[in-house]
Each structure stands twice: as structure tokens, then as C-alpha cells.
Structure 1
Amino acid sequence: MQSTTLIYIVITVLCSLVIAFFQYFFKEKKQPKIVIALFILKALSLFLIGLLLINPKIDIVATQNIKPKLSVLIDNSLSTRFFKEEEKVKEILNIIVNNEELNKKYQISNFSFGNSIKVLDSLSFSETSTNISEAINSVDELVKNNKKATILITDGNQTSGNDYEFLMPKDKVFPIVLGDTTQYQDVQITQLNVNKYSYIKNKFPVEAFLLYEGKGAVSSVFTLSHNGKKIYSERIKLSSENPSKTITVNLTSKEKGLQYYQASITKLKKEKNTKNNYKSFSVEVIDEQTKVLLLSSIMHPDLGAIKKAIESNKQRKVTIEVIGNKQLNLKEYQFYVFYQPNFYFRRIFEEVSSNFLVITGTKTDWNLINSLNLGVKKNAINQFENYGAIYNDSFLTFMQDDIGFEEFPPLRDKFGKLRLSNETQILLYQKLNGINLTEPLITSLEKNDVKYAFIFGEGIWKWRSASYLKDKTFENFDTFISNIAQYLASNKKRKRLEVTSKSIYPANAIIQISAFYVDRNYKFDNRASLQLKITNSKTKEVKVLPFSLTNNAYQVSVEGLLAGDYMYQVSVENQNINKYGRFKISAYQIEEQFTNANSNKLQKLAKNSNGKLVYSNQVESLISNLLADKDYFTVQKSITTQKSLIDWKWILVLIASLLSIEWFVRKYYGKT
């Protein structure tokens, strides 16, 4: 208890006595015994009131023993099952968790990991990817201020994330190697690069990367097949000195629609794992040619960037024109890009009846756009602002991945409040001075069977440069612009039900299918009930699932489908509206591409952290090392807490009782 508290208590005692004395003894010559009792009751009640206000506390010091942390990370991916190590993992975990000496010294926490880390509940060995670096970094973040050790139970084969080989953990990591460490001969297709789209009777490139692991030289045959027919083959030779090879093949698009292909490489004589010898891919063949008019009111670097991006698809030809007195034959073009339109564009807008893209900026005449009834209006002032981008993952007008939009430089446009019609779908929202806005940066809309798109800001050439610096290629940016061009170039009328899905999925992946449904006024209808019906083309097995409403879209996730071809139907309950499609689940599983455990990388990780690598039959040795390790010890910590000396509830009851007794006695004896 602090000295000031004692002083307050003494003062309270004195004040209570003085007040009670003044009330009952001051100027009183005769003091009957009842007055003395009243004096005691008054003084005691006043003292308790003061004590209640002071609320004295004492410090209680307790000691706490803090054990070092021992985190056990268990690889829960398919590769563990592929190496048939499930029972071994459970046996290792059981030995560690039930070791009494280890539990006395360490506080043990168990985690499982695949692509992300989770507190261990159960082991399914069904994760479709392995991210070892993320698991180790997550444990480091979780246990920042405590001394800890980490046991990593894995085969060491990582399929996603940063390479853990170069991690420098702040605490020791003890890998336990699962699986066969014997080096087998193996040839595999590590990567396929192919365009998603092609035009009929045109060539499209297929780039395959092949890798050989093993000793000596081998020979194999690389093959491309379409609908079960061989369309290309090449004999290749690989060796330990030249273990990789890149093959580029130009295929011809002969059939319209979604086409499936398979790349394969023949099995070696002593090859153990052949699941990585095959990979499937798809190409959508489009039967149309596109001519694009890029019409501008000014010369700007954006024009060149847009032209290059659109023409990255060889079936598109862009013509750049500056608005003026020159007569333009607008009927020659399938769609148009209007760059910073001014009042000279009025005639052009009146003549154009097909789809177009409008890009605004500092030279845009917003009075013109506001008068055209395009579904977009802006109260623009002659002041400029820089607008960053926020990706909208609920955008379903066409498929567009996030290519790092938020990292791109801002676009510049006139400042003002945007007003949109209900038919708009926003791809990117605006960010102004670090604040996320609900106004669009890029949006699309459809009206009277005509499709428009707007980019609200100039400077998109900087996006192309930033995309190249980030990815070392223009492909992602060019694909983004090409997606907009593809959407606008299509003359298909908008349908009330649009479905978004991929054409091919890897084995064991979660299949996400999204749908966008509108009413007869082409406004999003959140009252509908949508259903997905999936049919296996070979077995005719049917699976029916309902869609769930997420934001402004309907979505469904499908798991547990076997490899093969599937057809699907999306239907709207009580409406004669259906959408059909198909997709393929490839047999290729990235977790099954390895032939042996990667003990070399795990050894480097152990070395970088001053830990030690052991094999699955050396768990007892590892436990002995952990018990003998003097770097890990229990820390005794003193914890000081304050506890109140009084219970205010009982004090209040006592005060009320004393005051009541005093009042009753005074009244009974006629004391005022």
C-alpha cells in the first residue's frame, strides 16, 4: 500500500471523529450513554464512506514460469499422401505430443499447412499446394517475443510462395524429412505458355518447358494432341549437363469454339513418377476480324500504348486519327476508342451506332458527354486530380484478373462528381489521396444493345510501363486492354444471365463459377434462385448445387470432382432462362510432380537457422537434442497486480445499516 493512501486514511479517521464530535458533544454539558453510542455510529459510518472513496489497494506479486515455445508444422498437402507417409506423420506427431519430458520443457503448439497455415484440427493430406516459407514466416509473426523452436515435418517440395531455401529464421528450425530421398530419373513438363484466344485459320504459339532430373543422358518424345489425335511430335535429348529444353510450336486454329489440347512426354525406362509427364491446356478459337478506330482530340503517349496493347492480338488492326475536317468512313470499323472527346466529336457520336470505349482526361469536354445520354454524367470543374485504382473482384462483365492495379500510377482527370446509370458494372474504383471512393475509374455499361466502356483518366501509358517493370513483360497489361477490346468488339446482345468460369481446372482444385442475372430492365436481380447442374461427360454422373448471393453476383464452389470433361447448366428457377457451358479437369496435380523428398533445401534451411535436419526414423534423436539444448529454458517472470482491500458492495450495505440505526436511535430518544 502506498504511503499517500495511509495519509488519506488517517485524515479520514480524524475528519470522521471531528464531525461526529461536533454533532454530538459540542456545547453539550451532559452526555448520556446513548449519545456516546450515536457518536460511535456516526464516526464509523463517516469513516467507511471516506474509505469507500479512497478505495485502498495493495500490490500482489506473483511469479509465472514461461516455457519456450515449440511449434510443430505438419505438411498437410497431397504430396504427403503421394509419398504414402500419412501414417508416419501421425506416428511422429504422436511421439512429439505425448513426450512428457518435452512437454515439461516446452509449450507445444501444432499447426498444419498447405498454401496457408492453420491450427491443427485434423490431418486430411488434401491441400493442393505447399507454401513452406509462408508457414515459417507465420509462426515467426505469431510468436514474436518468446524464445521458440520449430519442428517442420515435410517432404521439402514447395509448389507456391517464396523459396524457403533462402529464409533466415530468427529461431532454430528442425526439419523432419518425409518420403524417399533417393534420386530417380524423371522428365517433366514444368510449364506451358499459350494464348487464351486465337482466330480461326490462324497460328498460335505453344511454348513448353521440359526438365530432366537424373544422371546420364536420356531420350524421349514430346507430343501435342488434339481430340486424341497427335498433331505434333519431336524427339528430344536431355542429360545431367543439359537438363532443360524449351520447345516452341506454332499450331493452326482449325475449329471454332473452345478447343482442348494435351502436351505429353514419353516415359523413361526407370522413371518412377509419370504424372508430371502430361499437361492440358485450352484455346478459344474466335471466328472474326476486328478493325479499331482510335480517334483523339490531341496527340498523347496514351495513343501509342493503347494501339500496341490492342494490336498484341494480331487479328486486330488499330488506326489512329486526330479529329478534324477529314472525312472518316466509320462503317469500316467494328468498334471505336474515343480519346478525350471534345465538341468536334458530336457528329461522330451521332453517327456511331456500335460499341465504343471513351477515355477522358484534362482536355475532355464534359458538357458534350453529359448531353449525349450515355449513362454517365459528371459535374466537372476546371481543376485536375490524380486518381488511383481499386480492383473490384465482383466485376463479372468479362473475366479480368487483378494485375496489380493498386500499384499503378494514378490517372489524371478533371475533378467532379460522377453519376452513373443502373446498367453500369465497375471494374476499378477510384482512390483519391489515399481514400477509397465508390466512384468508378473504369466501368462498362450496356444500353439499347450498345456496349460502352469508360476509362476516367489519362496517363494509361504509365500503367503499361509499370506493368512491364513489375512483370518484365507487357503481356498482363496488353491482355487487360485486349479484354476490354474483346468485350466491345463482340456484337452479341446482352443476355439476362451471364456465367463466368474457366475452361480448364487442375486436379483437386476448388471450382468457382459465378453468375450475373438481371431482370427485364437489365437491373441486377438479387431475388432470383439460381441452380448449377454439372454432368460428367463420360460417366453421366450429375451433381446439382444452388448458387449463393455474394455482393452483386451469384457464386458457387464445387469440390471433389474427378478428372475428366464436364458439361454444366445454369438455370433460373421459375424462368425459362438457361446458360450452358463446359470445362475440363485435368489429371495433372502439381503436388504429385516430385519423385523424391528435397532434403538439400531442408538442410540449407536448418543450417540458416542453426537447427538440425533429421529423417523420419530419427525423431527420438531430435527430441533428445531439444531436451539437451541449453538455448531453450524456462523464464520466471514476476507479475505485479493491485487488489482492492475492501469489497464495496458489503461496505455500502454496512454504511446504510449504520446510518439507519443511528437515525432510528436518534428519533427514538428524541435527538435532533
Structure 2
Amino acid sequence: MKLITELPLWFSPLCLLLGGLYAFLLYWKDSRFEASNPLTRRLLAAIRFSLVSFLAFLLLGPLIKTLLREVEKPVIVIAQDNSESVLIGKDSAYYRTVYKENMAGLIDGLGKKFEVKTYSFGDGLESGISYKFDDKQTDISALFNELYTVYSNRNVGAVILCSDGLYNKGASPLYDHSIGELNAPIYTVALGDTSVKKDVILAKVLHNRLAYLGNDFPLEVLLEAKELMGEKTTLKVEKEGKLLFSKSIDINKENYIETIPIQLRADATGIQHYQLRLTTLEDEVSYSNNIKDIYIDVLDGRQKILLLSNAPHPDIGAINQAILLNKNYELENRLLGEYKNSGPAAANKFKAYNLIILHQLPAKGKRGIKLVKAAVASGTPILFFLGNQSDINGFNAIETGLAIQGAGGMTNEAQAVVNDQFSLFSIDDAMAKQMRDLPPLTVPFGTYITSKSANVFLKQKIGMVKTEQALIQFHTLNEVKLGVIAGEGIWQWRLNSYERFATHDLFNSLISKIVQYLAIQSDKSQFKVFSKNKFLENEELRFDAEVYNSSYELVNDPEVNMTIINSDDQHFPYTFSRTGHGYKLNAGKLPAGSYKYKAVVSLSEKVIQETGAFTIVPVQIESFRTIADYQLLYNLALKFGGKMIAKEEISALVQEISARDDIKPISYTEKRLKELINLKWVFFVLLFLLSTEWFVRKRAGVY
């Protein structure tokens, strides 16, 4: 601790001189003290001297300088695989007793020298270690990404990964760059079992998600058998207890693999549940992988979509791939030159489609302007894509709810920012966050004028500036839905989605939501409930609802209730939460099976009811790989400077980590300056001096 001043410290003697001069002039020749004890005058002079000198010193701006030193222990992160595959091939009692005790000893041993943080991971990440081993999927790369987010600015000493090395979600952890940024070694604890044991496995069932009523649809079944040569099993396919297919399998190899094609008939609409089963054999390591449930959504028709473009463009390929993932859509690609007529003839032809996508039409030189007007006149929903080839003046004349003035052929680079007030369809917070990092689109430069009745989904962020200009918006003209994507280069969003997440799901989901909203027929009912018709058993059930008054305006004053009913006629009541102008419900997780729901709202003394059905699909992926992947664990430890340890030797990690020279505490020094005048004791010293002087003067009879 050190005392410094804002003004030069050599002014201090002047403060003393000022205090002495003040006391001298006040008390030296004051005749009122002649009858008093001489010590009284001296005491008062000393008090006044001290008081004035101290006040003068405070005018110099004195500061107390202190240095604080903080030592941060190395953080040791222990991540426990909580997935179902860990228990396959091993008595679960071992992991809940011996292993649990060993893990507790490891945590206690490391905690004496380090700061220990524990997590459980599987299809999600939770703080603390769980020994339930009930997660339905394993995502090691998500674990690494979360650890980087939380500990990127911390002194991470080591990461201890306790796993069987089997992952079935996310990218390969070997190629995850985020964990390497922590500059910490990874120690892997090998769980599970690598021995090959007797087992017959329904390894994979390939099938389409959709089928059409009355059509045959194919299944391709891959089955495996290990250490069961000479045995027989039977493959059966059943639906609602009815046997649809059966085949006897002769296992003639120790490592037997066979692919079996099956044809089934779609004889009912809705989500149809089929169960494939292999008869069990004696001494199998697991029976859960003998059964696989599949769900086929049987439809009785497709929605037709026309993608009409001015010229070939990479955006068209990206849009095609996203739309064709949904077998409920029949996509037709055409170039402008392939349409020879316009006017009423074209309008009648356009009525055959559920959605028309116009890519950079109308084009420069007024190309396609009549055809675009015919498309609008057909009453079919339209999605416009703008770009360098677009005729902006021709586009402005169509009344899409968006006009761009002063474009002049110039362009801007604009990133996407989700409009929080958008409510035509929902996106979760994770998707909104991911969209902020998508590459910019090339948009026309100009002043964007959006109709008051339009709904802006994405706004433009140009450079670092968030604008109110629409990037993606929707508008309804004479009850016809119109959408505008005001830029080109959307193909880059698809590539970026795969680069960041090793999947195109972000881009595909975005296009799917836009197409679904535009293509779906208008529903003028006053109460609507939205949800998926199929959920995974480890997925939360989310529902959205909308209520409209007699003027067809969104309201959310009345309470919305829902009852979910399972196949055993058990009822689960819920109440929706109000959000903005709509409603949302998170019903949590429910067991796999078929469910119905009934939602009810009271509006203007009228009770409105909405019903529906959905299926929760079991996640069985953890049981289909029964042999632990120690090679992955070894490679992870080798790549990141650690070591693979057997689960029985887990206690050795305490000595192993403690002996490393590169895992050390970090000392942080912080300099702090505090003004002396802000200290409480300064006030009380001044108060004491003033009070003492006043008391002595009063006692001496001098006021």
C-alpha cells in the first residue's frame, strides 16, 4: 500500500504552513483566553492546526495505491458419458458402486490441489456427474464446444473424458477445433467393453419418411450377428399386432451380415408405426437391439411447387436440395424461356401449383414482367428472390409489400438479424442465434419501404449497423401470400451451415419453414394449434397456438388449455403461456408412443376446440453399437497431449496430473487506486477534531 497525490507531494509542507498560520492568527492574540489555563489555548491551536492542515492536504487529491494478487488454481474438467451404451456388456452394478467410488476418490484427490468441475454428457450437457446412464444419444463435439465457451478464458489444467468412445450425434471429436483452443491435455478413461460377444442386431433400417396412400414403399434392413454361427433367427415386420412380413435367417458365419429388401403397402393415412423384430437367441449381450420401430407418414397427395428462374444460379440448386428433402413436395424447375405465353393462359396454368418461386423475376429489360403479373393474378402464393438480374422498378409495381427506391444498380452486403416481433412461424433461440453468423447476402442498394401490413422475418445488418430494412418479409395481398427474399447468395448459407455444424439442418429448416408457411392453404379458423407430428423421445414437446377475434385479429387474452392423451387413455393437462400475440407450450418429455391432443379456448362466450395427433419415436441408436471404441479415445488423448487410462486405474490420474510441470496456478496482479477522501474514517477524524474544538471552547467560556 502506498500514498500518492494528484498534485505534487512537495505541496505537503505548504499544507502544514497553512494550518500553523491559521491556528496562530486565530488563537495567539485572542484576549478571551487570558483567564484560561495556557494549555487550553495550546490545545485549541493544535486542534485547529491539525484540522486545517488535514483539509488542505485533502485538496492535493491523495490516493491510496494498493496491489492485489490473486492466485487461480488450474481447473480440471471431468466429463462423464451418461449414455445408455456404457452399460452394454457390463453389469450395471459395477458402474453404480465400484466405479462411482473410484470416481469420488478421483474428484477428492484432485480437489486438494486443483479446482474440479464435473459434467455429464450424452444428448445434452449437465453440471455434475450422473450415474443413470440413460441418455439416448452421445454428442462429444457438443461437449467440447460448450467447454470452450465456458472455459476459454480460464486456466484449464486438463480435461478428463470418461466414455466408451461411441458417438452418434454431431461431428467427430477428433476434428473439433474448439477443444484445442483451451491448450489443455485430454485424458480419456476407457469405459464400456471391447470384447466381441454373442449378439444379433437390427443394425439399420433404411426407409422413406413419407409414403403415399395405396403405393408400395421399400424397406432395406441390415442385420448383423456376432459369434452365433449355426444359429437361426427370424425377421418379422408387424403393424398393430398384424404380421406383414417374416423371413427365417440362417447364420452361417461368426461375423454375419445380410441386407434384406422388403416391400410394404401404405394402406392408411397418418403416421403409421411398424415394428421390426429379430427373435432372441440365448446368451445375447443385448436384446434391445433386436427391435427397431419405424414411423412412416402416409399422405394422400403432394403439394406442387414451381421454381421459375431468369437464368441458372447457385441459389437454385441450394433451394432445390432443401425443398426435395420433404417428399410431400413435388418440385418443378423451369427457366423463363420455357414459358411461351402469358396473361390468362399462364394464370390458369399457374393455378395448378401450391407455390410459385420466382428467382430474380421480373428481370432487367422487363423480361418476364407479364408472366409475373399472371402469376400474381392466379392467386397462387409467390416467393420472390431478388438479385443483380432483377428489374427493381418492375418488382416495385407488383405490390408485394416491399418497394426499393433509388436502387440504381448498386448493391450492399447484408447479414441477417431475426425480428423478435415476427410471429407467422416460430424459430427457437438457438436457431436465431445461429442465423446471426450466416454470411451476408448481396442486396439491392436503396431505400426499403415496407408496407405496414407486412411481416418482416429478417432485417438487414450492413457492416456493424442493424437496420430496419427487410431482408426476408411476408405480405398478404387480396388473401394471397407473398414472400420476398431481398438478396442473392443464399447458397452460401447452406455451405456455412454444414461448415459450422456438419449438417445442412439450419438452412434446410429455414427454407422448409418459409415454403411451408407460403404453400399451406389459408385457414380462417379462429383457433389454431401448431406442432410437429413426430418427436424423438429425448425431445421436448413444443406447441404454438393462435387465437383470432371476430375481426380476425390476433388476441391472447383468453386462456388456452390442452390435454394430451396417450394410448392407455391417460390424460395430461397443460396450460399455454402467452407470448407476444400468440401462445407457446413446452410440455416436456413423454415416453415413446402414439398420442392425441385436445386444445380448448373460450372466445366471446363460444368454446372452440382443436384436436390433433402426434407420435413420439423411441431413440434406439445407443444399443446398436455394443463394442466400445477405444481407438478414438486413444487418438484423442494422443492428439491433445494426454493419456488413455483404463477405468480400473482411474485413481492414477491424480498423480499423473499432479506431476505435470505445465499444469500450474496462475497469479494475477491488480493495481487499485482509492481516493483518501472516500474513506469513512476520514469523515470521523474531521468530525472528532471539530467536535473536540467546539467542546473545549465552550468549556472555556469562549464561543
Match of 1:544, as an amino acid?
P
Rounded to whole Å, the distance in 1 between the matches of 2:118 and 2:503 is: 42
Matched, 1:130 2:138: yes
Partner residue, 1:96: 106
Paired with 1:503 and 1:288, the residues of 2 have a C-alpha distance of 17
The change in CA–CA distance for 1:249 and 1:334 in structure 2 (over 3 A counts) is farther
* Cα separation, partners in 2 of 1:605 and 1:646, compared to 1, 3 Å: same
After TM superposition, the structure 1 = structure 2 runs for residues 101-250 of structure 1, keeping only pairs within 5 Å, are 102-120=110-128, 125-136=133-144, 138-139=146-147, 142=151, 144=153, 146=155, 148-165=157-174, 170-186=183-199, 188=201, 194-202=207-215, 225-229=238-242
Report what 1:44 is aligned to.
50
What is the identity, as a one-letter code, of the residue corresponding to 1:378? A
One-letter identity of the residue aligned with 1:542:
H
Query: Cα deviations across residues 616-653 of structure 1 (Å, max 9, x unaligned)?
Result: 44344444545666665667888877788898434334
Equivalent in the alignment of 1:410: 441
2:348 aligned partner:
331
| Alignment-derived partner of residue 522 in structure 1 | 552
From 623, 636, 640, the counterpart of 1:605: 636
For 1:295 and 1:44, how far apart are their aligned partners in 2? 92
Between 171-180 and 524-533, report the one with greater CA deviation.
171-180
Contact 1:265 1:277 in 2 (8 A): yes
| CA distance in structure 1 between the partners assigned to 2:666 and 2:318 by the alignment | 64
Q: Which amino acid aligns with 2:17?
A: L
Does residue 305 of structure 2 align to residue 284 of structure 1?
no
| Equivalent-residue separation in structure 1 for 2:134 and 2:340 (angstroms) | 63
Distance in 2 between the 1:470 and 1:133 partners?
12
Q: Which residue of 1 aligns with 2:15?
A: 12
Alignment of 1:265-664 (within 5 A): 271-288=284-301, 298-299=310-311, 301=313, 305=317, 315-318=330-333, 320-321=335-336, 326=342, 328-332=345-349, 333-335=351-353, 336-338=356-358, 340-341=361-362, 344=370, 348=374, 351-361=377-387, 376-378=401-403, 380-383=405-408, 384-390=411-417, 397=425, 407=438, 410-413=441-444, 415-422=446-453, 427-446=457-476, 449-458=479-488, 488-491=518-521, 493-537=523-567, 539-551=568-580, 553-574=582-603, 575-626=606-657, 648-656=679-687, 658-659=689-690
How far does the alpha carbon of each residue in 1:136-170 deviate from its partner, in whole angstroms, 9 at most, with x for none?
A: 56446527553623443334433333333567673
Deviations 1:393-452 (A, max 9, x none): 976559999697653551433633342454x55554444335444554334455665433
The one-letter amino acid of 2:545's match is: A
- Secondary structure, counterpart of 2:406 in structure 1: strand
Determine the C-alpha separation between the residues in 2 that align with 1:4 and 1:479. 63
- Whole-Å Cα distance in 2 between the matches of residues 514 and 618 of structure 1? 51
- Is this contact kept in 1: 2:139–2:168, CA < 8 A? yes
| Pairwise CA distance, 1:14 | 2.9
SS of 2:49's equivalent? Answer: helix
Distance in 1 (CA, whole Å) between partners of 2:112 and 2:503 is: 55
Partner of 2:485, secondary structure, is strand
Q: Do the aligned partners of 2:120 and 2:126 also contact (CA within 8 Å) in 1?
A: yes
TM-score (norm 2): 0.75
Task: Give 1:46 shift.
Answer: 1.0
The answer to whether the 8 Å contact 1:449/1:493 transfers is: no
> CA separation of 1:134/1:412 partners in 2, compared to 1, >3 Å: closer, same or farther?
closer
Per the TM alignment, residue 48 of structure 1 is displaced from its structure 2 partner at its CA by 1.7
In the alignment, the residues of structure 2 paired with residue 644 and residue 97 of structure 1 have an alpha-carbon distance, to the nearest angstrom, of 45
Q: How far, CA to CA, are the matches of 2:702 and 2:576 in structure 1? A: 83
Q: Secondary structure at the match of 2:482?
A: strand
CA contact (8 A) 2:87 2:133 kept: yes
The superposition leaves residues 493-528 of structure 1 with CA deviations (integer Å, 9 ceiling, x where unpaired) of 443333333333333432223333333333332223
- How far off its partner does 1:238 sit? 9.3
Letter in 2 for 1:517: V
The residue type equivalent to 1:111 in the other structure is Y
Note closer, same or farther for the CA distance 1:42–1:142 as it changes in structure 2 (3 Å cut).
Answer: same
- Please list the CA deviations of residues 10-62 of structure 1 after superposition, one character each: whole Å capped at 9, or x if unmatched: 3422332244445556999x999576555433322111213444575666678
Give the Cα–Cα distance (whole angstroms) in 1 for the partners of residues 545 and 685 of structure 2: 70
For residues 12 and 637 of structure 2, the distance between their equivalents in structure 1, rounded to whole angstroms, comes to 63
Q: Matches of 1:48 and 1:156 in 2, distance apart?
A: 71
Answer yes or no: is the 8 Å Cα contact 1:275–1:588 preserved in 2.
Answer: no
Residue deviations 1:55-108 (CA, integer Å, cap 9, x gap)? 756666787665444333333444456662234453234323445xx5433333
Unpaired segments of 5 or more residues in structure 1?
none
Deviates more, 1:180-189 or 1:509-518: 180-189
The alpha carbon displacement at 1:589 in A equals 3.2
Instruction: Check the 8 A contact 1:452/1:488 in 2, yes or no.
Output: yes
Distance in 1 (CA, whole Å) between partners of 2:315 and 2:121 is 48
Structure-1 separation of matches of 2:249 and 2:271: 30
Residue 225 of structure 1: CA displacement?
A: 5.0
| Whole-angstrom distance in 1 between the partners of 2:62 and 2:139 | 55
One-letter identity of the residue aligned with 1:331: N
Residue 130 of structure 1 aligns to a residue in which SS? coil
Note the alpha carbon deviations across 1:218-276, whole angstroms, 9 max, x for none. 98776655555555677889999988777776766454443334455565665322323
Tell me if structure 2 keeps the 8 A contact 1:292–1:319: no
- The CA deviation at 1:543 is 0.8
Root-mean-square deviation (CA), in Å? 5.0
Q: Distance in 2 between matches of 1:463 and 1:638?
A: 45
- Is this contact kept in 2: 1:155–1:599, CA < 8 A? yes
Change (3 A) 1:295 1:233: same
Q: Secondary structure at the match of 1:45?
A: helix
Determine if contact 1:201/1:254 at 8 Å carries over to the other structure: yes
Measure, in 1, the Cα distance between the counterparts of 2:658 and 2:484: 66
Instruction: Give the CA deviation at 1:378.
Output: 2.4
The amino acid that maps onto 1:602 is L
Change (3 A) 1:96 1:461: closer
Q: In the TM superposition, what whole-angstrom CA distance separates every residue of 1:183-235 from its partner, at most 9, and x where no partner exists?
A: 32445455555544444445656566666777989987766555555556778
Aligned counterparts of 1:259 and 1:438: Cα–Cα separation in 2:
46
AA at the equivalent of 2:348: K
Give the 3 Å change call, closer, same or farther, for CA 544–277 of structure 1 in structure 2: same
Answer whether contact 2:227 2:255 (CA < 8 A) is retained. Answer: no
TM-score, scaled relative to structure 1: 0.78
Compare 565-574 and 350-359 and name the one that shifted more: 350-359
Q: Secondary structure at the match of 1:157?
A: coil
Counterpart-to-counterpart distance in 1, 2:30 and 2:559? 91
Contact 1:59/1:642 (<8 A) preserved: yes
Contact 1:217 1:237 in 2 (8 A): yes
CA distance in 1, matches of 2:159, 2:117: 10
